[in-house]
């Protein structure tokens, strides 16, 4: 039996434990929702105040040069690159994940179809994050082609060279937002390439959460999110990476002035910048970008302690513990583990499914100071999901114990069936 004392010991032995001191977390709260919105780094408020009061208020327009606002998308991109197995100069921090996906999927379709106009299909996973599917659906509608949604176990067959002759792009989210299951990027990319198919990876639940090796795995395009595991703040700008072999082959469709070779020459004709800079479009929200920079700062201290490999080891130990405690203390209440048990197939969250009542259970848990989140099922094939993000930068082993203790009590007491926990909020 796992005990509280054992978990406290794990925290004492954890060399990464001091990293949580970088964050400002409300007292008495166990926050397991960093996969939806990362926690606030302590340095962010001061830095944002400086940007507002000094750089904007005093420096005014001069700060585009003097405070380095202008090349912030590239500077932050270089820092994100080091977390996802890319090189400096290959990533920009900009716009939203959805918009960046539109840029790269457009470019991927152009490249895949050049010389192969019959490659009309985009294949993805039925349970992919919906905005990825919406963007792909919109592009297929506008440019011709079809979006085909598969179950994950059917991807390999769909990528067999004979089956995939009319496939242009494989579009996947690396770590699934509901289940926390992680795809094998290297194997799927290799299979796709054998069939002449390009790959677009959404790293929303991967960047800062699991080691990513975009270049080693020979991925083609990737996008990701700044406000989850990168701790960039609500709606922080997202990022985009393009393999250098593809970066300059086509214009991306959102060809605005920030992606121009000489934006301040104000020439009437568009000339794309070289490399990833052409994936910029318009002026970026500098205050929010500055907060993203502080989110990235929290990885600098981790770097000296083993970086993403050390964070991954801790993340897996946390999710192992979480799963073990679910089995030890929360059985008999209809909860089912949907996150894979195999460590190499797991992201940095644990998800539990329940036919119904998931929303109320999560509300009862939040009332007890344990914040995870809820993703509704469709009442048919897809069950309700309770999601628990495990952020190794600030989550401890005792936190996991306490979370499961509260879940145990919510389930045993049946308190979640009270009316107050069953009133839906607008956004959950």
> Which residues between 18 and 57 bind a copy of itself (CB under 8 A)?
24, 26, 29, 31, 33, 36-37, 39-40, 44-45, 48-49, 52-53, 55-57
Per CB under 8 A, contacts with a copy of itself among 233-262 are 233-238, 251, 253-258, 260
From the list 63-71, 309-317, 318-326, 414-422, the region that binds a copy of itself by CB under 8 A is 63-71
Distance in Å, CB of 51 to a copy of itself, minimum: 8
Kindly name the residue from 387, 388, 397, 421 that is annotated as catalytic.
Answer: 387
From the list 209-217, 226-234, 296-304, 390-398, the region that binds a copy of itself by CB under 8 A is 226-234
From the list 60-68, 115-123, 179-187, 334-342, the region that binds a copy of itself by CB under 8 A is 60-68
Is 425 assigned a catalytic role?
no
Distance in Å, CB of 228 to a copy of itself, minimum: 10
From the list 161-169, 287-295, 325-333, 401-409, the region that binds a copy of itself by CB under 8 A is 287-295
The three-state DSSP-derived secondary structure of the chain is CCCHHHHHHHHHHCCCHHHHHHEECCCCCEECCCCCCCCEECCHHHHHHHHHHHHHHHCHHHHHHHCCCCCHHHHHHHHHHCCCCCCCCCEEECCCHHHHHHHHHHHHHHHHHCCCCCCCEEEEECCCCHHHHHHHHHHHHHHCCEEEEECHHHHHHHCCCCCCCCEEEEEEECECCCCCEECCHHHHHHHHHHCCCEEEEECCCCCCCCCCCCCCCCCCEEEECCCCCCCCCCCCCCEEEECHHHHCCCCCCCCCHHHECCHHHCCCCCCECCHHHHHCCCCCCHHHHHHHHHHHHHHHHHHCCCHHHHHHHHHHHHHHHHHHHHHHHCCCCCCEECCCCCHHHECCEEEEEECCCHHHHHHHHHHCCEECEEECCCCCCCCEEEEEECCCCCCCHHHHHHHHHHHHHHHHHCHHHCHHHHCCCCCC
Which of 2, 120, 149, 317 binds a copy of itself (CB under 8 A)? It is 149
Whose Cβ is closer to a copy of itself: residue 286's or residue 352's?
286
Whose Cβ is closer to a copy of itself: residue 17's or residue 64's?
64
Beta bridge partners of residue 385, listed in sequence order:
353, 375
Q: Assess 58 for contact with a copy of itself (CB under 8 A).
A: yes
Whose Cβ is closer to a copy of itself: residue 144's or residue 211's?
144
Site size for a copy of itself (CB under 8 A)? 89
Whose Cβ is closer to a copy of itself: residue 206's or residue 284's?
284
Is 202 assigned a catalytic role?
yes
Q: Assess 298 for contact with a copy of itself (CB under 8 A).
A: no
Is 387 assigned a catalytic role?
yes
Distance in Å, CB of 288 to a copy of itself, minimum: 3
Q: Assess 375 for contact with a copy of itself (CB under 8 A).
A: yes
Per CB under 8 A, contacts with a copy of itself among 112-131 are 126, 128, 130-131
The residues carrying an active-site annotation are: 129, 202, 227-228, 387
């Amino acid at each position: 039996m796992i005990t509280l004392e054992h978990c406290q010991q794990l925290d004492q032995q954890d060399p990464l434990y001091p990293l949580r001191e970088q964050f400002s977390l409300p007292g008495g709260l166990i926050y397991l929702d960093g996969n939806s919105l990362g926690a606030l780094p302590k340095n962010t408020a001061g830095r944002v105040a400086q940007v507002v009061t000094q750089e904007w208020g005093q420096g005014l327009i001069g700060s585009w040069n003097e405070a380095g606002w202008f090349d912030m998308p590239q500077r932050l991109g270089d820092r994100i690159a080091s977390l996802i197995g890319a090189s400096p100069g290959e990533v920009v921090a900009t716009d939203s994940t959805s918009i960046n996906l539109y840029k790269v999927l457009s470019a991927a379709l152009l490249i895949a179809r050049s010389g192969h106009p019959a490659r009309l299909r985009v294949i993805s996973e039925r349970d992919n994050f919906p905005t990825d599917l919406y963007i792909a659906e919109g592009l297929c509608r506008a440019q011709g082609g079809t979006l085909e949604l598969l179950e994950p176990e059917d991807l390999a067959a769909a990528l067999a060279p004979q089956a995939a002759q009319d496939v242009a792009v494989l579009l996947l989210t690396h770590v699934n937002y509901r289940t926390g299951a992680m795809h094998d990027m290297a194997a799927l990319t290799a299979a796709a390439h054998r069939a002449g198919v390009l790959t677009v990876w959404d790293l929303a639940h991967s960047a800062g959460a699991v080691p990513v090796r975009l270049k080693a795995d020979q991925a083609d395009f990737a996008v990701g999110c700044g406000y989850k595991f990168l701790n960039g703040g609500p709606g922080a700008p997202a990022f985009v990476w393009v393999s250098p072999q593809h970066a300059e082959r086509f214009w991306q469709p959102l060809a605005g002035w920030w992606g121009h070779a000489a934006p301040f020459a104000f020439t009437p004709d568009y000339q794309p910048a070289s490399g990833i800079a052409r994936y910029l479009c318009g002026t970026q929200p500098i205050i929010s970008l500055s907060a993203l920079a502080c989110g990235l700062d929290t990885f600098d201290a981790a770097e000296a302690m083993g970086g993403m490999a050390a964070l991954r080891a801790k993340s897996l130990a946390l999710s192992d513990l979480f799963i073990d405690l679910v089995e030890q203390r929360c059985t008999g209440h209809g909860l089912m583990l949907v996150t894979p048990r195999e460590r190499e197939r797991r992201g940095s969250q644990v998800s539990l499914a329940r036919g119904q009542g998931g929303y109320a259970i999560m509300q009862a848990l939040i009332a007890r100071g344990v914040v995870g989140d809820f993703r509704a099922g469709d009442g048919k094939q897809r069950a309700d999901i309770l999601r628990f993000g495990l952020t190794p930068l600030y989550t401890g082993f005792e936190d996991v114990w306490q979370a499961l203790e509260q879940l145990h009590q919510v389930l045993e007491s049946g308190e979640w069936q009270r009316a107050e926990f069953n009133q839906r909020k607008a956004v959950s």
